[in-house]
Structure 1
Amino acid sequence: MQEQVDTGTAALKEIFDRARLAHIARETAAVCQDFDAKKFMALATDGLDALGIMQRMRLVASSLHAALPGDFAANIEVLKALAPRIGHGFASISLSEYVALHGAEHFDISMKALHFFTRFGSSEFAVRPFLLRDLNRTLAVMEGWAGDDNEHVRRLASEGCRPRLPWAARIPALIKDPSPVAPILERLKSDPSLYVRKSVANHLNDIGKDHPEWMLERLGGWPMEDTRTAWIARHALRSLIKKGDSRALAMIGASGKPLVKVETMRVTPAEIGLGERISLSARLVSTAGESQRLIVDYAVHYVKKNGTPSRKVFKLKVLDLAAGAACDLSISQTVKDFTTRKHFAGHHRVDLLVNGETLAEGGFNLLI
């Protein structure tokens, strides 16, 4: 089972610290007597402190190549023996990266290797150079992966060809035209694994940023009476729902324009320091004559370094509000720095969104 990684952790690069590299060296030597462990450690630790997580991962892959004695095919067999001995999902991605760096001229061996390695550490990054080099041939293999018995392999079929996969090279051809991935998404539209369904939903959400009509048409032909398919649709439509897109709202059974009034909305405390929590509370009262399905979100307008705001929308609640009924909502979150977001002092506006419409505003001051 792959280990889940918090990509917001400041010390994420320490997954590949010297102790981990020494562990990889020992385990590789255990499965290959001619492996040069000293050479590997010298190369893999060269300039290590200045490198980020992805740079360290690639350095491990290139250092393995330099310290292993065989050709590509022979080294792949060594790395297959090594894979279950690494014991960490993200660290194991270095094995797939070896394929990405050195397998360009060995397509069939490389595809089989990525299929194997993804069960220990996802091959989602490593398959992308092959997509960029030969899209149709690689997608044909990935469509087969979509029918695999292993959930990690099925997830790779979707995750690896996401057009805008985070931390990875984009696939311009699929950003321009997503239709080549349709057979893969079709095979996975009711997958029993939540792990796989999350990938399919994220893949469709990526597509919806460039081709909303294509995504809506695709989802419109899917069986929403299937709870697994309906789950994918709800999460795939999240960006359009946050924009109040009427077609997306209708697809998940939500009402159109929200017939509600916001009696109260509070963001507390009024001032916080970095690392402290804010709380949002609100009371909604229906003004409709019938029940409504409402998608309630909230948006924080984070202050950027230059003082301008950057809006980020968060999910709050999906609810069915009866005619004339009221509902109290609350949520809290910690305001802290991530590798993907640095906070700056200033007033942060907070919007309450119902079916994509801003119905109330509040805010807090961040002191740094």
Structure 2
Amino acid sequence: MSTRQTGERVSQLDRGTAESTHLADILAVNFATLMAAVLPDLPASAIHVLRESATLGITARMRVAANLMRLHGHGDADTWSRHPSDTVRGWACYLIGSDPGRSLEPALDALRPLADDAHFGVREWAWLAIRPQVAAEPLRALAHLLPWSVDRSPNVRRFACEALRPRGVWAAHITLFKQVPQHARDLLEALRCDGSRYVQDSVGNWLNDAGKTQPDWVRALCSAWQRQHADDPANRYIRSRALRRL
């Protein structure tokens, strides 16, 4: 791609007229420029806050953006969940996840369409946005998400697993599942032979997370699965991913 094409690509991302195609795109979006384009009536002081937050980590900047939108009367997540920009739809995730008027279950239900978004980045923002609440009440979240493990959409099934990972990525750890991973046995059993590689990766990573603190439990579970599902390629892949470096 030429320098001119690269410049136009960045401009489209910052204007909110194009979607990112990879992680580098996501991290390169200028939040201040994008929000000024999306919300031209926003006061200059709010845009200044976004510029000042540019040195923060990406998840912190997502929270700042959502808080500013709510503070200035643009907190309707439904509006932004349909925006052409995946970053703006990510802000919608954080508007839902940080909404003081939503308890855990309604927030999870509101995030469900975004968990099934066509864009990979939005699907990540969906679970990251609600992770603090999930980490605070993991068994309550587990009870609500367990039926999602049999949803028709692999994106929704993956959300159920990823949101509850003991360690996760860019997210608070769930101490209970690090110490007592067997609490999530029903969820893992529901996904143990999932036909989607997207889901398989998440299940394998879940168990690999748990194996850092409870390796014997993970080995025992994988041994049981090997006896029960020795010929299943999905389960074989999950076991291999779970036991890597264990």
Which category describes the TM-score, using the shorter chain as reference length? 0.7 to 0.9
CA drift of 1:171 comes to 0.9
Q: Structure 1 residue aligned with 2:176, among 167, 173, 176?
A: 173
CA drift of 1:46 comes to 4.5
User: Which structure 2 residues correspond to residues 174-323 of structure 1 after superposition, within 5 A?
Assistant: 174-222=177-225, 223-240=229-246
1:136 aligns with 2:142: no
Q: Structure 2 residue aligned with 1:57, among 56, 62, 67?
A: 62
Residue aligning to 2:107: 110
> Is the contact between residue 230 and residue 236 of structure 2 (CA under 8 Å) also seen in structure 1?
yes
Residue aligning to 2:72: 67
> Is the contact between residue 77 and residue 96 of structure 2 (CA under 8 Å) also seen in structure 1?
no
Segments of 4+ moved more than 6 angstroms:
none
Change (3 A) 1:178 1:199: same
Secondary structure at 2:79 match in 1? helix
Q: Structure 1 residue aligned with 2:79, among 78, 81, 84?
A: 81
CA drift of 1:38 comes to 4.0
CA distance in 2, matches of 1:40, 1:232: 49
CA drift of 1:205 comes to 0.7
* C-alpha RMSD of matched pairs (Å): 2.6
- Deviations along 1:129-174, one digit per CA (max 9) or x if unpaired, are 2223322221111111211122221111111111111211111111
Q: Structure 2 residue aligned with 1:94, among 70, 91, 96?
A: 91
Residue aligning to 2:39: 25
- Deviations along 1:168-209, one digit per CA (max 9) or x if unpaired, are 111111111111111111111111211111111111111111
Count of matched residue positions in the alignment of Structure 1 and Structure 2 = 219
Secondary structure at 1:84 match in 2? coil
CA drift of 1:82 comes to 2.1
Change (3 A) 1:95 1:50: same
Unmatched runs of 5 consecutive residues or more in structure 1: 27-35, 70-74, 241-368
CA distance in 2, matches of 1:3, 1:82: 16
Change (3 A) 1:134 1:48: closer
Secondary structure at 2:127 match in 1? coil
Tell me the TM-score normalized by structure 1.
0.54
Residue aligning to 2:3: none
Which structure has the bigger radius of gyration? 1
Give percent identity, aligned residues only. Answer: 26
CA distance in 2, matches of 1:197, 1:101: 29
CA distance in 2, matches of 1:104, 1:181: 28
Aligned partner letter, 2:83: R
